[in-house]
Each structure stands twice: as C-alpha cells, then as structure tokens.
C-alpha cells in the first residue's frame, strides 16, 4: 500500500539532482527532499563514498522504485523530522541556536546531532556539541558565569514558572548519552541532582517565590530518564553529599597549626599558641555545619547539601565578610582568608570529581586526548 508522499516546502530545490525520502511510521507518510548530491557529499564522507560508486541508470522501464520524478531516490532509514533538521542546518535554512540555556535548544538540535554523528558530518557535530557545552560547561568558572546569569534572571522573574526560561537537563542527558557527547554530562547530572526532587508545577499553577536560588526554582523531566541515568543520579548525589560532609568534619577535626606563623594575632610571648583557632573552630561548628545540616522552617529542601557548589560559595563569602559572631571572637583576616581558600579549594575538587561521582568515565579528560575518542563509552 503506497504511503502518502509529502514534498518538503523549504528543502525542494528546483536544480536538485537527488530526492531523499524518509518515512514517518506513525503517520504513514513519506517525506521527500530534493537536494544536491554535491552538497551532501561535501558534508559527509559517507555520502561522498556512496555517490562515488558507479550508479545504475535510473530510467529502466518497469522499475521506478529507486527514482522519483526522474531523479534518483535515496531512502534514509532515519526519522523524517531528524532528516529535515539535518538538511535545514546543512543548507542554513535554520541557524544553530546560541542563546544561553535556551529552553528548546536540545529539541532544536537533537535530530541533527543524531544524524551528523551517524553520517560523520564533523563540522556540524562540532558546532552542535559546542552549543551544548556552552550550556553545560566543563570548567567551574564557566559554570559560575552561567549561575550568575540564572540567578540574575531568577530575581527579575521571581514568582514565575522558571522552566519557561531555562533548559532542563533530562532531555540533554538522553541525547548526549545516545550520541556519546560525554563532556556535557557531569554538569547536567550535577544540575539534575539539584532539581530532580521538585515536581513540575501543574498546568496553570503559578511558580513559587524562590528567593533566587537556582536549584529550587527549576525542574527536570525525570520521567524520560532511563534506569541507568537514575542510578547515576542517586549514586552521584550520595557521593556529593558524603564528600561535603567529609570535608566539613575533616576541617573541624584538623589540628593543623601551620598558620600560626601567618596569623596576625600571634603574640611573641606565646609563639606556639594560635589565637584564631578557637574562633575558627566555633565558626565551623556553629555556622558552617549548622548552615549545611539544619533547615529553617520555610526552606523547601531539608538540607543545604542539594547544591554544594552554591553552599560552599556562600560559606567562603560568609567567613570573608564575617559579621555574625561577636567581634571579640573574630579570627584575623589572614586566618579567615585561609579558611575561605580551603573552602574554595574543596569546591574546585568537587567540580573536578563530578565525572567520577556520576560514573561518567573520562568525560572531561577525553577532551585533552581526542585520540582516545570513542573508547570511553561507559555503557558496559
């Protein structure tokens, strides 16, 4: 039974010399694109090889299955919408999105990413991956820039549904896993670990006032994740929390006296006494641990461990700007600077451990050693 043929309105060039067909199984329709062999060959070595093969004359009577309106017909096994997306980018009918964290970026590029990976269209693949990596960066400094932007917009749009403004991570995780774009996964899983517990607001419901906290205002389409993604989420989340707690108790227990020499309050009479030690210990116990483990009555999440990167930034700022204990107990600026640096170093360590915590082997290391590309798939 012949399916309905639908010619593309945009991708139907009058001087095209090839008709590409892709079917939509559900709609029982065949979508047709009249394009150019030379254009396809210039983008993909796979297509170039196909067109370089000797072609049989396409006009023999009685067999028109491989022609359409006299032109050679090439049937792609891919989804029609993916083919349309790919050709649209190749012919520059559409441009690859470039706005930060745009809600529909993944929708817009997923089909083209899938097929450019499959047909080895390197330059297009690289540009799409570049867009995704700019939203889900490899470097902590880039992540912080995005967080600033997000938090700024959160204040501006307070009370609105934030999912209208920002990309969610689950769809990205699906397509990035499928196409082996591992570099974006650590940041995406980290964000997922902050927001997975929030349910999406029901239709028509207004957003909640968030107090401009990036993690609380957004949601994820958790339902589209596969079992192995959910497992990564749980394991990674536990690893994150364990690491932060371990750090806080480690510093509290530490008896490192190395900063006596730099402490501004050390006296010549007692050169072995570190005057700021008690003040720092008190701060650590009464403020840092308290902040991370306790919750105010109106907090939406029980503990401040769901976003350790943000919590550690806050603690580093708190100890630098110290204004909540009596000034008599306040350690000197050098000792507070030391503690702030410890916190920021831990923050960087956590960031660099994200690939390991979420079980995405070599996601970032791979970038420096592109020769090992493709050998790092962790779906074993």
Residues that bind Zn ion (CB under 5 A): 263, 265, 276, 331-332, 335
CB nearer to Zn ion: pick between 331 and 355 = 331
Kindly state the smallest distance separating residue 279's Cβ from Zn ion, in Å. 8
Kindly state the smallest distance separating residue 127's Cβ from Zn ion, in Å. 52
CB nearer to Zn ion: pick between 125 and 335 = 335
Tell me the pairing of strands 18-24 and 29-35: antiparallel
Q: For residues 314 and 307, what is the distance between their CA atoms, to the nearest angstrom?
A: 11
Give me the residue label for tokens 């394009």: 35
CB nearer to Zn ion: pick between 148 and 329 = 329
Q: For residues 84 and 99, what is the distance between their CA atoms, to the nearest angstrom?
A: 22
C-alpha distances out from residue 281 to 23, 248, 254, 290, 329, Å: 67, 11, 10, 13, 10
Q: For residues 275 and 281, what is the distance between their CA atoms, to the nearest angstrom?
A: 11
Name every residue whose Cβ is closer than 8 Å to that of residue 331 and which is 6 or more positions away in sequence.
263, 265, 276, 279, 280, 283, 322, 339
User: Within 13 A of 244's CA, how many CA atoms are on the CB side?
Assistant: 25
CB nearer to Zn ion: pick between 235 and 332 = 332
Kindly state the smallest distance separating residue 317's Cβ from Zn ion, in Å. 19
Q: For residues 106 and 131, what is the distance between their CA atoms, to the nearest angstrom?
A: 10
Number of other CB atoms surrounding residue 141 within 10 Å: 9
Kindly state the smallest distance separating residue 347's Cβ from Zn ion, in Å. 22
Give me the residue label for tokens 């497992």: 231
Kindly state the smallest distance separating residue 267's Cβ from Zn ion, in Å. 11
CB nearer to Zn ion: pick between 212 and 332 = 332
Q: Where are the alpha helices (DSSP H) in the chain?
A: 37-43, 45-52, 80-90, 105-118, 122-135, 140-156, 169-178, 185-195, 214-217, 227-253, 277-282, 290-293, 308-321, 333-357, 365-368
CB nearer to Zn ion: pick between 244 and 276 = 276
Kindly state the smallest distance separating residue 340's Cβ from Zn ion, in Å. 13
Q: Are residues 74 and 35 in contact, defined by beta-carbon separation less than 8 angstroms?
A: no
Kindly state the smallest distance separating residue 263's Cβ from Zn ion, in Å. 3
Closest CA to 241 of 306, 338, 321: 306
Q: Are residues 214 and 310 in contact, defined by beta-carbon separation less than 8 angstroms?
A: yes
Kindly state the smallest distance separating residue 280's Cβ from Zn ion, in Å. 8
Kindly state the smallest distance separating residue 238's Cβ from Zn ion, in Å. 36
Closest CA to 350 of 197, 239, 201, 213: 239
The radius of gyration of the chain from alpha carbons, rounded to an integer in Å, stands at: 28
CB nearer to Zn ion: pick between 35 and 263 = 263
CB nearer to Zn ion: pick between 262 and 286 = 262
CB nearer to Zn ion: pick between 276 and 310 = 276
CB nearer to Zn ion: pick between 139 and 252 = 252
Kindly state the smallest distance separating residue 300's Cβ from Zn ion, in Å. 37
User: Within 13 A of 307's CA, how many CA atoms are on the CB side?
Assistant: 22
């Amino acid at each position: 039974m012949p399916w309905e043929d639908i010619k593309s309105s945009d991708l139907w060039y009058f001087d095209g010399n090839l008709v590409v067909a892709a079917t939509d199984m559900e709609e029982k329709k065949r979508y047709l694109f009249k394009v150019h062999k030379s254009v396809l060959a210039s983008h993909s070595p796979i297509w170039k090889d196909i067109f370089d093969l000797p072609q049989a004359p396409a006009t023999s009577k009685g067999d028109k299955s491989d022609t359409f309106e006299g032109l050679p017909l090439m049937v792609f096994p891919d989804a029609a919408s993916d083919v349309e997306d790919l050709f649209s980018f190749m012919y520059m009918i559409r441009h690859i999105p470039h706005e930060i964290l745009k809600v529909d970026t993944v929708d817009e590029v997923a089909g083209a990413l899938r097929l450019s990976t499959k047909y080895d269209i390197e330059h297009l693949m690289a540009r799409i991956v570049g867009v995704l990596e700019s939203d889900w960066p490899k470097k902590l400094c880039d992540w912080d820039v995005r967080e600033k932007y997000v938090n700024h917009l959160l204040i501006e749009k307070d009370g609105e549904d934030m999912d209208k403004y920002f990309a969610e991570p689950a769809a990205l995780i699906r397509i990035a896993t499928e196409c082996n774009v591992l570099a974006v996964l650590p940041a995406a899983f980290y964000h997922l670990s902050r927001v997975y517990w929030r349910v999406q607001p029901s239709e028509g419901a207004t957003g909640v006032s968030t107090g401009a906290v990036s993690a609380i205002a957004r949601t994820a389409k958790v339902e589209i994740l596969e079992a192995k993604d959910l497992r990564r989420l749980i394991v990674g989340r536990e690893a994150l929390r364990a690491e932060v707690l371990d750090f806080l108790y480690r510093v509290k227990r530490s008896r490192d006296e190395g900063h006596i020499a730099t402490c501004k309050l050390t006296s010549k009479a007692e050169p072995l006494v570190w005057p700021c030690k008690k003040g720092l210990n008190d701060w650590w116990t009464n403020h840092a641990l308290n902040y991370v483990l306790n919750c105010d009555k109106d907090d939406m999440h029980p503990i401040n461990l769901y976003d350790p990167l943000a919590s550690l930034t806050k603690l580093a700022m708190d100890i630098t700007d110290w204004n909540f204990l009596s000034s008599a107990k306040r350690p000197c600026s050098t000792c507070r600077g030391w503690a702030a640096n410890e916190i920021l170093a831990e923050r960087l360590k956590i960031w660099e451990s994200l690939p390991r915590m979420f079980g995405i082997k070599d996601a970032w290391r791979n970038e420096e050693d592109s020769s090992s590309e493709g050998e790092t798939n962790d779906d074993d």
